[in-house]
Amino acid sequence: MQTALNLQTDYYSPEANLRYMSNGQYKDFIDCEAMAVAKIVGEWNPPPTIEMMVGSYVHAWNEGEEALKSFKASTPDMFNKNGSMKAQFLFADQMIETLENDPMCMDMLMGQKEVVMTAEMFGCEWKIKIDTYRDDAIVDLKTTRSIWDLQWNDFYKCKASFIENYEYFRQFAIYLEVERIATGRDKWLTPYIVAVSKESPPDKAIIDLSDDERIASELLRIKEKMPHILAVKHGEIKPQRCGRCAYCRATNKVEGVISYRDLEGGV
């Protein structure tokens, strides 16, 4: 018998991650099955990077004063003893100030904060946490190195926007479909990203991701991969190592000699 979970407080708990699939967990399985399983069973819990801590700080600001106060208390590594922010994190306050000074961005971020929803989808239960939930839209706050710079994308074999490189269409496909199922509505809400860059000074933009054909395509791709992912998660299939991620590097055991030619085409 499953124990009761309060996802408002236990959203990131091991029990919730074992019971539910999420966008982050799905991404882990796509990136490296061995790493994903290690995270679920508690064998791999890497410390957050500066970029991740800044993103969490900005999200806490979006959630509200109490959430930001709680975040500061639980993340002392970001602050000096006198309470001021350490130099390497100062740009986070600049990003927040940039958003606060933009009426359209602040208006877009108005709504219910950190709304948790669950739904049965593709053979398992999914959980989502929406940054800003409006009557007509789902709004996600994103921090990014640059809004306009294009970076090489291995999948598309060309330079692509941060939307494609961080696979935000996949995230929104999951969020929109879980929300639709949970509420019983017959169509998806409008997906928006409020983006703020880590440049000095920061840039910002409101990005409309409305594209029903693309969302449907992402959901189909997820549906096709879920039987294998669930078999791995439930221990029915041995997880594969990607050989390149931090987990694989940390746990790698050399089992033989490779040729220098292997380095040119990847192992």
Reported as a single tens digit per residue, the pLDDT across 208-245 is 999 999 999 999 999 999 999 999 999 999 999 999 99
Q: How many domains does the chain have?
A: 1
Look at residue 100 and tell me whether its pLDDT is greater than 90: yes
CATH code assigned at 132? 3.90.320.10
Residue 26 lies in a domain: yes
Q: How confident is the model at residue 4 (pLDDT cuts 50, 70, 90)?
A: low
Residue 84 lies in a domain: no
Look at residue 267 and tell me whether its pLDDT is greater than 50: no
Residue 258 lies in a domain: yes
Residue 74 lies in a domain: no
Summary mean pLDDT of the chain = 92
pLDDT, average across residues 199-206: 95
Instruction: Give the structural domain span for 139.
Output: 7-46+102-265
79, HSE (Cβ side, Cα atoms, 13 Å):
13
Phi, psi (deg, nearest 5) at residue 223: -55, -40
Residue 75 lies in a domain: no
Q: How confident is the model at residue 14 (pLDDT cuts 50, 70, 90)?
A: confident
Look at residue 177 and tell me whether its pLDDT is greater than 50: yes
> What pLDDT sits at residue 48?
87
> What pLDDT sits at residue 59?
93
How far apart (Å, rounded) are the C-alpha atoms in residues 233 and 133?
30
* Residue bearing the bigger pLDDT, 43 or 157: 43
**Percentage, residues of the chain above pLDDT 90:** 72
Residue 109 lies in a domain: yes
How far are the Cα atoms of 5, 6, 53, 75, 158 from residue 9, in angstroms, in the given order? 9, 6, 19, 18, 41
Residue 67 lies in a domain: no
* Residue bearing the bigger pLDDT, 169 or 260: 169
> What pLDDT sits at residue 224?
97
pLDDT, average across residues 115-144: 96
Residue 63 lies in a domain: no
